[in-house]
Amino acid sequence: MAKVRILSDRVANQIAAGEVIERPAAVVKELVENSLDAGATRIEVEFRNGGRSLMRVEDNGLGMSRDDALLALERHATSKILEAADLDRLSSYGFRGEALPSIASVSRFELQTRESGSDVGTEVLVNGGKFVHVHDCGRPVGTRIEVTHLFNSVPARRKFLKTDQTEAAHIVQCVRLYALACPQTAFTLIEDGRVIFRSPECATLAQRIAEIFGRQTAESLVSLDAAETGLRLSGLIGRPGIGRGTRHEMIVFVNQRPVDSRTLSYALIESYHESIPKGRYPLAFVFFDCDPSAVDVNVHPAKREVRFRSEPTVRSFVIRAVLQRLRELGDAGVRMIEPAPTAPNSADLTNAMPAISRPPIETPTRAVAVSVPLGGGSFVRAASSGPFTRPAESVASAAPSYTIPPTEAPLTLAWRFVGLAHGSYALFETAAGLVLLDRRAAHERVWFERLKEQFRAGTVPSQRLLLPVPMELDPISASLLLDRLVFLNAHGFEISEFGRNFYRVEAVPGWMEPADAEAFLRNLLGAFREGRWPDSNPELARDELARLAALKAVRLPSAAGDSDLRVLVTELFATQTPLTSPSGRPTYIELNHNELSRRFQK
Ligand code: ADP
Ligand code: MG
């Protein structure tokens, strides 16, 4: 029988590392938290290759003596709590004494530190959990930790890492959160030698937001401060009417700790129910504070999720606090003087955004899947649903083929236009029964293929704007845009960088309403950020752009007559996939005679 043994510290640390250090951003998180716990007023974070090859965190905090530095690398060594009951009075980020030994067990870990009062610093080097050396070193007061070769000794974990770009995005987001939590600490973040942001000590949260998210965002916010027995909600929230397409600017801290809290997120979304369009997320940078004993932070190894002892109390307090503030603003007439980044167009685009995450392959829906074109280039359909007919003998002789381009045969429109219902649905009488065509879906399909053709040919008409649109972006969006500038400018845009995080849109594609330019680009940036953009494949990226563009390009005139519909149907059936819109909705549905008889119980 196997003998029961106590794991060596090295193995125990590697196992713990699996829980705490799931990716490079987790290392950065732990190190930044330690720096803040050490009272740092200046923190610099540098990383390379998404954290894979290097992460360095340097602070001007308290530093450690040689003994403390060595002890800190022992499992469960912490200066922050003495007994379990202290967990209820927690005011520091760290408490388990697990981070440093875990990180050091799965990387090459070099620590340099000096306390004030000591005239020499200490350097400790650990490699893959094995102690290498300790000796004196010169350095300013504070601590510098450099982590390289992360997970080199644990190939299984290395395999789970995503692309450098994704890992980098997590690191950047992490540092941003702590920079928001502690505006009084100066933060610098450097990726691959490029400064992502450098924010000096800020007097207020609003200033820090302006530094990191841009002035436009900061100006869309109003302050909030509400308290009730033992609970407090403070910070900045978006003015009524201002919403975003993603949750990136909805950030909550619980007792200064950036966390995921479903309770708080939902409470915020619910509070804005009547203040922003459906499907948009509010802007919020809020701090929820309560007695540490009312919240359990020890739920998740990485301490990201929190649970409240009384979720309903927290929820109703937050909703009341936010609603009260929104109401005050409403009464003050803020709604009237609001700028209009929430014009219905931008909401449209957001609602349409899920399309981008779908596979680029068209999947005809069940309703229309039966109408597969039959016959060599003709449009007579199996279920006789095609709008065109040609003499029967040519059908009989033609072998089934789906590849011949549909435009070549002389065609007669066999769908008789009956009328337009609700402005959207065109009703046709056909040999097989009735057809209801969704004008918008059909136009989208036509535009989609037209745009794809323009993209392929490199002939996207562009229109110069009378007044260039200035756009201020947060540093992450700015660098994402910069990386894709060539692509966008090759597809009808003319966007130039001018100044730090500022861009100017000088021209937009011909299909676009100039007034939609900013909202369209911001939504596109949302897709870049969430990794929903197929960067690695220019073909797919072009398809995605065409898909989004098609949604915006369609401007339906309210009236449409027989000849308009004739043109539309002809164009639709000249496309490669006439049965569905680019986002996969059916372009028309058919009620055949059998279906009609059944419904009328004939
Ligand atoms: P925890 O933060 O849970 O205490 P860690 O493993 O993260 O555990 O750190 C262990 C100890 O090392 C801390 O309690 C602290 O005393 C010391 N320490 C770690 N990082 C720093 C730092 N940047 N400056 C000063 N002391 C530090
Ligand atoms: Mg710690």
Give strand ranges (E) for 121-263.
121-127, 130-137, 142-148, 186-191, 194-199, 221-228, 231-238, 243-244, 250-254, 257-258
Q: Give me the pLDDT at residue 82, please.
A: 59
Q: What is the pLDDT of residues 433-487, one digit of tens each?
A: 999 999 999 999 999 999 999 888 888 889 988 888 888 888 788 888 988 999 9
Which of 409 and 108 is assigned the larger pLDDT? 108
The pTM of this model reads 0.61
Q: Give me the pLDDT at residue 371, please.
A: 31
How many other C-beta atoms can be found within 10 angstroms of the C-beta atom of residue 89? 10
Check: CB of residue 303 under 8 Å from CB of residue 297.
yes
User: Atom 18 of ligand 1 has which residue's CA nearest to it?
Assistant: 34
Q: Distance between CA atoms of 409 and 118, rounded to whole angstroms?
A: 90
Q: Give me the pLDDT at residue 317, please.
A: 95
Whose atoms come closest to the Cα of 103: which ligand? Answer: 1
Does ligand 1 lie within 6 Å of residue 143's CB atom?
Answer: yes
Report residues near ion ligand 2: CB below 5 Å: 34, 94, 99
Atom of ligand 1 nearest to the CA of 101: 6
Say if residue 71's pLDDT is above 80.
yes
Whose atoms come closest to the Cα of 43: which ligand? Answer: 1
Report in angstroms the alpha-carbon separations of 79 from 37, 84, 361. Answer: 10, 13, 56
Q: What is the pLDDT of residues 183-195, one digit of tens each?
A: 999 999 999 998 8
Query: Which of 13, 36, 76, 78 should be mutated for ligand 1, with most atoms under 8 A from CB?
Result: 78
Does ligand 1 lie within 6 Å of residue 78's CB atom?
Answer: yes
Q: Distance between CA atoms of 53 and 360, rounded to whole angstroms?
A: 34
Quick one: average pLDDT of 257-262?
A: 87
Does ligand 1 lie within 6 Å of residue 95's CB atom?
Answer: yes
Percent residues over pLDDT 90 in the chain: 39
Quick one: average pLDDT of 391-395?
A: 41
Check: CB of residue 516 under 8 Å from CB of residue 345.
yes
CA 222–ligand 2 middle distance (angstroms) = 34
Q: Distance between CA atoms of 293 and 90, rounded to whole angstroms?
A: 9
Report in angstroms the alpha-carbon separations of 517 from 408, 522, 546. Answer: 37, 9, 15
Q: Give me the pLDDT at residue 11, please.
A: 67
CA 145–ligand 1 middle distance (angstroms) = 11
Kind plus residue range of the DSSP H or E element containing 454: helix 439-457
Atom of ligand 1 nearest to the CA of 34: 20
Whose atoms come closest to the Cα of 79: which ligand? Answer: 1
Check: CB of residue 197 under 8 Å from CB of residue 204.
no
Q: Any residues with CB less than 8 A from the CB of 82 and at least 6 apart, and which? A: none
Percent residues over pLDDT 70 in the chain: 78
- Which range (17-26, 121-130, 434-443, 571-580) has the least confidence? 17-26
Whose atoms come closest to the Cα of 96: which ligand? Answer: 1
3-state secondary structure of 502: strand
Does ligand 1 lie within 6 Å of residue 102's CB atom?
Answer: no
Q: What's the whole-number average pLDDT of the chain?
A: 80
Q: Place 95 in a pLDDT band, splitting at 50, 70 and 90.
A: low
User: Atom 7 of ligand 1 has which residue's CA nearest to it?
Assistant: 99
How many other C-beta atoms can be found within 10 angstroms of the C-beta atom of residue 103? 25
Q: Any residues with CB less than 8 A from the CB of 23 and at least 6 apart, and which? A: 51, 160, 161, 162, 167, 170
Query: Which of 20, 32, 33, 37 should be mutated for ligand 1, with most atoms under 8 A from CB?
Result: 37
- Which range (106-110, 178-182, 397-401) has the least confidence? 397-401
Q: Give me the pLDDT at residue 497, please.
A: 86
Q: Distance between CA atoms of 296 and 101, rounded to whole angstroms?
A: 24
Q: What is the pLDDT of residues 137-156, one digit of tens each?
A: 999 999 999 999 998 877 77
Report in angstroms the alpha-carbon separations of 162 from 155, 168, 169, 531. Answer: 14, 10, 11, 11
How many other C-beta atoms can be found within 10 angstroms of the C-beta atom of residue 486? 9
3-state secondary structure of 198: strand
